[in-house]
Amino acid sequence: AKSIREYHGKKLASRWLSNYSNLVKYDLEDRAVLITPNNVQPDNLLSFDALAVDNPWLLTTKLVVKPDQLIKRRGKAGLLAINKSWPEVVAWIRERMNKECKVEVVSGILDHFIVEPFVPHNQTDEYYICIQSFRSNDEVLFYHEGGVDVGDVDAKGVRLSLAIGEQPTIEGVSQALLEKIPASRKEYLAGFIVALVKLFRDLNFVYMEINPLVMTDDGRITPLDMAAKIDETAHFLNAAQWGSIEFPAPFGRAEFPEEAFIKKLDQSSGSSLKLTILNQFGRVWTMVAGGGASVVYADTISDLGFGQELANYGEYSGAPTLQETYDYARTIFDLMCRHKDPRGKILIIGGGIANFTDVAATFTGIQKAMKQYRDELLENKVDIWVRRAGPNYQEGLQNMRRTGEALGLPIHLYGPETHITAVVPLALGMRNVADYPEFDAASDNRAMLAATKSSGDVTADVTPSAESAVSTPVAAAGEHAVANLTPETRAIVYGLQTVAVQGMLDFDFMCKRSKPSVACMVFPFSGNHYTKLYWGTDETLIPVYTTIAEAVHKHPDTSIMINFASFRSVFETVEETLQFSHQIKTVAIIAEGVPESQTRLIIKHAAEKGVGIVGPATVGGIKPGCFRIGNTGGMLDNIIMSKLYRAGSVAYVSKSGGMSNELNNIVSRNSNGVYEGVAIGGDRYPGSLFLDHLLRYNDNPEVKMMVLLGEVGGIDEYAVCEALKAGRITKPLVAWVMGTCASIFPYEVQFGHAGAMARGDLETAAAKNSALQAAGAHVPRSFDAIGEKIYEVYSNLVSTGVIIPLPEPPVPKIPMDYNWAKRLGLIRKPANFISSISDDRGDELSYAGTPISEAISADIGVGGVLSLLWFRRRLPLYATHFIEMVLMVSADHGPAVSGAHNTIVAARAGKDLVSALCSGLLTIGPRFGGALDEAASMFMTAVDRGEEPAAFVARMGKEKKLIMGIGHRIRTLQNPDMRVKLIKEYAQKHFTRTPVLDFAMAVEQITTKKKATLILNVDGCIAACFVDLMRSCGAFDVAEANELIANGCLNGLFVAGRSIGFIGHFIDQNRLKQGLYRHPWDDISYQTGL
């Protein structure tokens, strides 16, 4: 949900409200001007005059003017001028524009103003109305009085709740909201509210407050003041209605150009890239992977008393590309190094345990930025602290260490053996670094060290082990929407997600399931087929269908749909899945960015069908030893490290997917492991709630204790509090709500997830932590201490006999995928092909090590590209121009030559371009075009021997060999071939030396005395000049030049050039629509009697 300017909110209402009116077409005032630094300059009155020319009503109407920058209570702050003329408005704006203004505790620059007509009215004409969306309903709050002194409308207003799908009616609105409105106005005002609610829903508003809403005696309704938010994720649904709309930063926090850059980068990426500058002069900067992880790092910095030093908030996650990570990192580095601090700067590159992001790959972008900003980082005394884990993290940390050493940058590295936020107090100098060993690739089994761990806090000395055989008596299990997972549970995967499915199959095999948990996949964009995957070391085939219906019908044993559809299509695919609710009982929605209106409909329909929903915006969930959804749990090494191949006694539920993997790690190191874990998703309205899963766990006798990881925003944690108080939850619950740092900010900050923003004191992390603790949950002093609290509760359960640790089972073996093992450097294999001229594996294609962007920006031309691909060298400009000249002069020699003739005949026979081109190319050989290589060999061999031209000609005659490159059908020295003339002159002008060309020209002087047409032809001239070029340009030694010529590059030039002409003849024949060619019989000499 993003706040929009009042100007845009009113424009949307005035533009579209009439579409939702039934009997009466409500016509709202649409005259308004948004004044910004882009359309006026305070010192230039002409810019204001131009606005009046475009909006002549400004000169004839009394006006209202106020800042339009998400400022609350502008009237009380003296930021409102009413009943003013245009000159008075101009003077009022000029007095304030680009000036700093303090509103309550926030100071900011005034630079956006809205000007609109003044509406004369009485106090009794003012009303208050607010529409908000909630999980299962939309609510209209109304009060019969409005204005700046309306007071506590929450307490005294009246409400109308509209369930999702329930349409408002004039009668219903009148009865619920308008009891104190004069009868003469009631029906008209009720119709307006009905239309406004419809507009609110269809345009995907999530909040709209109008105060006052004025209705005058003439029946005119005008919103005088509006605050609104819309669901940004619905842009693909409402782009046409919204038009060009902006989401301004809160007042007091002007948007930096760098923030706009990252926002644009995020919009064009499939990854998540967020950046908010909190204090550009701050010492502590963060670059955190993961929405949940970004919150706990900010929390820890704040909890340790460094909140005012926190410079930024943001995240990069979802497997960003090398270029995206580089752009993000260089943006952070550039901002961090702008303002020096004598104490130096601290950069924390943090993150949880990734589920699927290749850590080494993302670090490559950061390392590239480090190299670019090395001097600035050293000059600003930046101390870098890294904590990361997940796929390929070992290689990533090792590469980061090597980069730091090479650049001389101070870098401290930690992996999953160190608590996720332990680097924060270390970086801030609040812990002894010697107590926290850095990452060592050779050691994988050190105990996790929490930054706040202290001796004497743990109630018992217990070694974590396997699950307990003791069952605690609990009440009979109730009905739960999300189905419990079993070793027989099977799923349908929507989307061709072979990597995720292979990960699920590997987990199944590790857990000794009898058959794969994935029955099939659904992919509508190709026909039914099978995809080959591995079951252990054996290959297996997984069917892929084009429709959900066929998948469900052919696999009646499936009960879960794992939906990887994009945010654009997930609604339709889930709605289709719900048609099979007799079989599919749980749907996991992976996609982020699903519009809230669609999510709420999915939740409603799923509840009606008795289907449980996990997500949207989730990685899924995992039941150790049993089943995992998609990429949950990450790579196999993390599954083994967190002991997810067998069940423990602790069940958790989390908002964040990345933090759920971190919980797997924390729980496994502080108890006997995870029994089940679910990430419900970071959106504002997750399909299932914390309580849904906690009740499942509470009713399961195998679960002995539970963990809840919530976050700022929403009120779902309060339902857990009520369940604790009512005794519905009876098992120990360790709970923590992330986002405690929000209290240090004087304005709203949107944290990593869509739902992570408090809309009132009740939704703050601090309030929810207090409520959970008061209700009986075990709440640690900070997230950093959550592992300690888990250990404390677990130890108590062990000491009281509730949990009896069992011996640890053997770690199962699972074959590693070849490509991943090779990437980790565990195996090697001879390549089937070797290529040294191009590389398409990175973010950008490169030719002989030169990125394609660099080749284009340097304007090296076709000759330069050819030199890179053929010779693996960047040749001098004169050399690449010569190559281009050769291509030009050899491109065509008319339609009569054999190659062009063949191409034309093939084209007229209806053959395709490639076939016709091949027909022409196959004629190239010793008799046509293929003499270049042999001419070069003859001339350069003679020169290398020191042979005189006359001796050379005599020797060739004695050996009865034709001199390649000598001879033309009609040209003579007096009637030269212009192509030869141009090539010779260019070589003599630009090459440093031309011994082979000089030799060939001397041979020409001898041969033309025998016959005038025995001149140096274009083939011979190109061959001689090319040898001279290769030997004299400085890029090759003589041996290298000779080898390249022997490999056929000269004939290659002719083939490349002549292909241009052949393609031209093919296009020409098709353009002329020439029919099948048949050679005339009178041009054939029939000699049948031979």
With a pLDDT cut of 70, the percent of the chain lying above it is 94
Helix%, strand%, coil% for the chain, nearest 5 = 40, 20, 40
Distance of CA 850 to the CA centre of its chain: 26
Give residue 1004's identity as a one-letter amino acid code.
E
Evaluated on CA atoms 32, 35, 40, 44, the torsion sign reads: positive
Whole-number pLDDT of residue 751: 56
Length of the chain: 1090
Which helix (H) or strand (E) segment holds residue 623: the answer is strand 621-623
pLDDT category at 441 given cuts 50, 70, 90 is low
Whole-number pLDDT of residue 471: 31
pLDDT category at 746 given cuts 50, 70, 90 is low
418: which DSSP letter? B
Catalytic entry in 412, 555, 753, 1065: 753
Whole-number pLDDT of residue 134: 94
Whole-number pLDDT of residue 121: 94
Q: Extract the runs of DSSP E, i.e. beta strands, from 741-851.
A: 838-839, 846-847, 850-851
Q: Is the model's pLDDT at 226 over the cut of 60?
A: yes
Out of 295-304, 771-780, 906-915, which region has the weakest mean confidence (pLDDT)? 295-304
* Overall average pLDDT of the 800-807 stretch: 93
Whole-number pLDDT of residue 27: 84
pLDDT category at 774 given cuts 50, 70, 90 is very high
Using one digit for the tens of pLDDT, what is the confidence trace for 659-683?
998 999 999 999 999 999 999 998 9
Alpha helices (H) in 671-812, listed in sequence order: 690-698, 716-726, 765-775, 786-799
Q: Is the model's pLDDT at 382 over the cut of 70?
A: yes
Whole-number pLDDT of residue 462: 31
Out of 264-273, 418-427, 589-598, 1040-1049, which region has the weakest mean confidence (pLDDT)? 264-273
With a pLDDT cut of 90, the percent of the chain lying above it is 73
Give residue 330's identity as a one-letter amino acid code.
R
Give the tokens for residue 923.
């004629």
Measured torsion, CA atoms of residues 907, 909, 911, 917, in degrees rounded to the nearest 10 = -40
Exposure string of 271-296, with b = 16+ CB inside 10 Å and e = fewer, is bbbbbbbbeeebbbbbbbbbbbbbbb
In angstroms, the CA 162 to CA 63 distance is: 37
Whole-number pLDDT of residue 824: 67
Which residues are CB-contacts of 584 (< 8 A; sequence separation ≥ 6)?
492, 552, 558, 559, 560, 561, 577, 578, 611
* Overall average pLDDT of the 470-489 stretch: 62
Whole-number pLDDT of residue 267: 81
Q: Is the model's pLDDT at 10 over the cut of 90?
A: yes
For the entire predicted model, the pTM comes to: 0.78
Whole-number pLDDT of residue 930: 67
Question: Catalytic residue at 693?
Answer: no
Round the average pLDDT of the chain to a whole number and report it: 90
Residue 482, SS3? coil
Out of 88-97, 283-292, 351-360, 574-583, which region has the weakest mean confidence (pLDDT)? 351-360
Place of tokens 């299962």: 136
Cα distances (Å, whole numbers) of residue 1002 to 230, 832, 952, 969, 979: 83, 49, 10, 20, 19
Q: Is the model's pLDDT at 461 over the cut of 60?
A: no
Q: Is the model's pLDDT at 868 over the cut of 90?
A: yes
In angstroms, the CA 670 to CA 665 distance is: 9
* Angle, CA of 68, 106 and 228, to the nearest 5°: 35
CB 662 within 8 A of CB 416: no
* Overall average pLDDT of the 425-444 stretch: 82
pLDDT category at 466 given cuts 50, 70, 90 is very low
Residue 50, SS3? helix
Whole-number pLDDT of residue 821: 74
Whole-number pLDDT of residue 451: 32
Using one digit for the tens of pLDDT, what is the confidence trace for 681-700?
989 999 999 999 999 999 99
In angstroms, the CA 749 to CA 372 distance is: 31
Out of 208-212, 249-253, 602-606, which region has the weakest mean confidence (pLDDT)? 249-253
Q: Is the model's pLDDT at 454 over the cut of 60?
A: no
